[in-house]
Structure 1
Amino acid sequence: MAGALGSQYLGGLYPCEMCHWQRWPHYAAIAVALVAFMVTGGARRALVVVAALLIATSGAIGVFHAGVEYGWWPGITGCTSTVQAGGSVEDMFSKIMAAPMIRCDVAQWTLGGVSLAGWNAIVSIPSALVILWLAVKR
């Protein structure tokens, strides 16, 4: 999440709708993991498993999003906007016309030919598998 938020707020890469979809399970995983630190025994293990499944879910959404970016399949969402509501109709129109349009089917940034959604999948799915393996390992 630090990388995603850093790229947004420090790097100026505005997230599209599917980028936000990938973030929600990570936010939930962080919350579940924090609760896991406060409990003991089987409840802790169960919460760690839930957090791992949430991380895997984000990775799966990343696979879908990367596929949309690479044109492997069509997306199911429209573009999003960074415009904040408020002001007169003329002000809103000016904001809309000046705002960047963030398309879900175009990667804003790549590293080694892999988009941020692809990197999310590459990192999240194996990480979730390791966490699950460690959670069930005695």
Structure 2
Amino acid sequence: MLAQTSFRIAFAILLIASGSIVSAWVFEALGYAPCELCLKERIPYYVGVPLSGLALFLAAREQTRLLLAAFAGLALIFTASACFGAYHAGVEWGFWPGPTDCTGPLDHARSVEDFLTQLQRVKVVRCDAVAIRILGLSLAGWNAVISAGLASLALMGAWTALRHSRC
């Protein structure tokens, strides 16, 4: 019974995390260019998806000690992801300043040559500008919500694995 619960939790984390990163790629393909912070917000998913696959494998094999470590790792990864998503959402709402390389005032050209040089540079997607809001939240805000949910699931999985290891 506890092994089935751990398996279901690991499977849910794998599905939700995979769906989240695929959704980010779809939005990017639809023309919503990610900013620097958006790209950094994907890193926990690049680590969390394979780790949740490992947790699924460990749950199927009933390797409770390793499963506990995998769930603990997932809880840490997605807690950090939720905090980073909340930070980025706060930058978008103007609660605090973001990184200077993708927020703040735009540089004004001092001469025509400076202007032409700026035109040749790559366009920087601003971290404090929201590309799209869904139900009032930006994608960074949704990342914070989804990551917090994934962290909660991972904690539930860790608790389940811990209880199973004691039996």
Structure 2 length normalisation: TM-score?
A: 0.66
Equivalent pairs counted in the alignment come to 124
Paired with 1:37 and 1:48, the residues of 2 have a C-alpha distance of: 10
Which digits, 9 at most, give the CA deviation of each residue in 1:43-66, with x for residues without a partner? 022112212221221111000000
Higher relative contact order (CA 8 A, sep 6+): 2
Q: CA RMSD in A?
A: 2.2
> For residue 47 of structure 1, what is the aligned residue in structure 2?
70
CA spacing shift, 1:108–1:47, aligned 2, 3 Å: same
Following TM superposition, the consecutive aligned residue runs of length 4 or more in structure 1 with deviations greater than 3 angstroms are 93-97
- Give the letter aligned to residue 45 of structure 2: H
- Give the letter aligned to residue 23 of structure 2: G
Q: Does 1:2 align with 2:22?
A: yes
36-45 or 123-132, which deviates more? 36-45
- Give the letter aligned to residue 37 of structure 2: M
> For residue 63 of structure 1, what is the aligned residue in structure 2?
86
- Which has the larger share of helix? 2
Q: Does 1:14 align with 2:33?
A: yes
Structure 1 length normalisation: TM-score?
A: 0.78
Paired with 1:24 and 1:118, the residues of 2 have a C-alpha distance of: 16
Larger Rg computed on CA atoms: 2
> For residue 75 of structure 1, what is the aligned residue in structure 2?
98
Percent identity over the alignment is 35
- Give the letter aligned to residue 16 of structure 1: C
